[in-house]
Amino acid sequence: MNTTEAVTTLGARLYEHGFGEEDLARDMVEWKNLTELDEADLNALFDLAQHGNFVSWDCPTCEARVYEGSPDSWTQFQGVQQNDWSSYPGNGPDDARCDHCRCYGAGVDITERKDVRP
C-alpha cells in the first residue's frame, strides 16, 4: 500500500488502541522512509508505538520534523530517518534541534559553543 493508505490504516489501528491522532501515524510512516508499505511494516510500526519507543517533534530552530525511534530489533527499520546524534551531537542529548541545525550550529549563539581544541 502507498504511504497515504498506510497512514490511514495505521492511524485507525492506533486510534482503536487509544493512541489518538493521525499525526503519530503520519510521522511513523515518514520515519519508516518507504514509498510502499506492507502489513509487516505496519505491524512493526504499531508495535513500536505500543511500546512507547517512538517520538517526534518540531526542531525549535527551523521547525523541520525530527523523528526518534528505538526498536528492540532494527531488522524492520534499516532505512529510517533517524537523527544522527553521534555525527552531530550538538549540545548533548537534550539538544532538540534537527541534524542540519546541530551540524551547522543554527540557533546557538557562537559564544555558547564549547571550545573543542586540545
Higher pLDDT, residue 22 or 5: 5
Which amino acid belongs to residue 34?
L
Three-class DSSP labels, 17-28: CCCCCHHHHHHH
Q: 65: which strand partners? A: 58
The pLDDT tens digits of the residues spanning 40-92 come to 999 999 999 999 899 899 998 899 999 888 888 888 888 888 877 767 777 77
Q: Give me the residue spans of the domains in the chain.
A: 3-108
Residue 39, classified by CB atoms within 10 Å of its CB into exposed (0-12), middle (13-18) or buried (19+), is: exposed
pLDDT in tens, 88-117: 777 776 788 888 888 887 776 644 555 555
DSSP 59: -
pTM: predicted TM-score of the whole model, two decimal places? 0.78
In whole angstroms, what is the distance from residue 40 CA to residue 76 CA?
Answer: 8
Q: Report pLDDT for 26.
A: 93
Q: Residue with C-alpha cell 549563539?
A: 109
* pLDDT given at position 27: 93
What residues pair up with 54 in beta bridges, in sequence order? Answer: 69
